[in-house]
Structure formats: C-alpha cells, structure tokens
Amino acid sequence: MSDFLDIPNVANIKVEFYVDVYKTAEAPVITQPISVPVEGKRILVVDDVADSGKSLKLVREVLLEKGAIDVKIAAIYYKPWSITKPDFYMRDTDAWVIFPWERYETIKKIGGKLKSEGKSLSEIETELIKIGLQPIIVKRFVNEIFGEK
C-alpha cells in the first residue's frame, strides 16, 4: 500500500480480537500501540476484513483520541453486519475468508480440533478440502503438522 499510494510513512498498530476460527474475545484489545505520533495527521487504516467492525472502531477511536484529524479505513472485504463500514473496500461478503497467509494457521487450528475428535489424517484432509482449501496445500500442511515424525 505504501508503494501504491506513494506514501513512505507507515506505522503499525496491533489489535487482538480473534481467539480461534469463528471465535472472538469479549472485546478487541490493542496489544501494540501505534508506533508513531499521529497528532495533526490524516490516517488511512488498512485491514484485511471488516468483520464485526469492533477492532476498526477501536482503532479509529484511539487514533482520534491521540490527535489524528481524520481517520479513513480501507479493507479488502466488508461484511454487512460490521458496525464499522470501511470508507474503501474491494467487495462485500458474508463468507469466512481464509487469506493465503492464514492457511497454515487455519489448517493447524481446524485440523487440531478434528484430530482431538479422533479423526484420521485422511479424514482431516477431506474436511479441510471441503471448506475450500486447496488439496495440495492441505496435504502438505496436514502431513507437516500432524504426520508421523
């Protein structure tokens, strides 16, 4: 985004809310505060999904409290039930979205639950493929995570 917008000044803020697939904590928590002063600045917050919208709402409020003069939000996906509608987004969806950078974690969490239920590696693979993960990725990661050592 920095290159695309030709804006070299970027900063991070980390919010933790999801504790598992489809499960959130009671409320989002900022675990790494904004890394630069924002007073008097116009801010663009970029996130992958506006799901509940609670994390984005918290971030917007905190940035405004710290003196930002304007806070806009951009997201790849917007879910219609989100309490915060991004100013910019690519598309809306009501589906659970698994991004390429989340595949390993998703397979580990869902596969771990299935394994604890006594499912075989083959059954775990079948279930993960049913939810839309690519078979080649599933086979590789299931074997890496749960295969015999």
pLDDT at residue 24, rounded to an integer: 63
Report the pLDDT averaged over residues 41-48.
94
Q: Which amino acid is at 40?
A: G
CA distance 93 to 2: 26
Residues 6+ apart with CB under 8 A from 80: 92, 94
Least confident of 1-15, 39-53, 71-85: 1-15
**How many residues would you count in the chain?**
149
User: What are residue 82's phi and psi, to 5 degrees?
Assistant: -60, 135
Greater model confidence, 106 or 40: 40
Q: What is the pLDDT of residue 16?
A: 86
Other Cβ atoms closer than 10 A to 49: 20
Q: If you average pLDDT over residues 26-47, what whole number do you get?
A: 93
Rounded Cα gap, residues 70 and 77, in angstroms: 22
Residue 48 has pLDDT above 60, yes or no: yes
The predicted pLDDT at position 149 comes to 47
The pTM of this model reads: 0.77
Cβ atoms of 56 and 88 closer than 8 Å: no
Residue 20 has pLDDT above 50, yes or no: yes
- What tens digit of pLDDT does each residue of 112-145 get? 999 999 999 999 999 999 988 999 999 999 989 9
What pLDDT digit, counting tens, does each position of 60-85 carry? 999 999 999 999 999 999 999 999 99
Q: Is-contact 71 100, C-beta < 8 A? A: no
10 vs 86: which has the higher pLDDT: 86
User: Are the beta carbons of 25 and 16 closer than 8 angstroms?
Assistant: yes
State the pLDDT at residue 19. 60
**Is pLDDT at 2 greater than 90 in this prediction?**
no
Average pLDDT, whole number, for the chain? 90
Q: Measured in whole angstroms, how far is the alpha carbon of residue 37 from the centre of its chain?
A: 25
